[in-house]
Amino acid sequence: MSERLQPGDAAPAFALKNADGDEVTLASYQGRKVIVYFYPAALTPGCTKQACDFTDNLTLLADAGYDVVGISPDKPEKLDKFRQKESLSVTLLSDPDKATLTAYGAFGEKTMYGKKVTGVIRSTFVVDEDGRIQNALYNVRATGHVAKLLKDLKIAA
């Protein structure tokens, strides 16, 4: 497992395919704040709840100057199906080789149902306009996470 990121660290660069198969880079958000969240799998109950919560609050976040990007190991085709089935407007990116997940410390050993397993660690990072980590949140809950994030960022719902 890679090191966990801390506030002030440079956000690891990435270039990943979105649900349409187009490449999206962290550098394309330079000058804007971006919330990068990592989730285990599209079309699962917890990940659907989290993606829907981000989608429901996208305007509020955008008005406060934040873009939102969700990253999972799913292939772009599955992300497209997820986006269409759930009417998601959040940007979803594919990291099938888990290089970006690992760079952010969002892939490794975790406890699931009392057992140690290796997988995606549900995590969220707030990256500032200069590409630095503002907040690094590991082992977040799918439900209620967006509301807590809005509160932490002092964005009124």
Q: How is 63-110 classified by DSSP, letter by letter?
A: HTTEEEEEEES--HHHHHHHHHHHT--SEEEE-TT-HHHHHTT-EEEE
Which stretches of the chain drop beneath a pLDDT of 50?
Answer: 1
What is the pLDDT, as a whole number, of residue 13?
Answer: 97
78-116 tens-digit pLDDT: 999 999 999 999 999 999 999 999 999 999 888 778 888
Query: For residue 4, with 0-12 CB atoms within 10 Å meaning exposed, 13-18 middle and 19 or more buried, which class applies?
Result: middle
Q: Which of 24, 34, 47, 61 is catalytic?
A: 47
pTM for the full predicted model: 0.94
Is 15-152 a domain of CATH 2.40.50.140? no
| Torsion sign over Cα 120, 145, 52, 67 | negative
Asked if 47 is an active-site residue, the reply is: yes
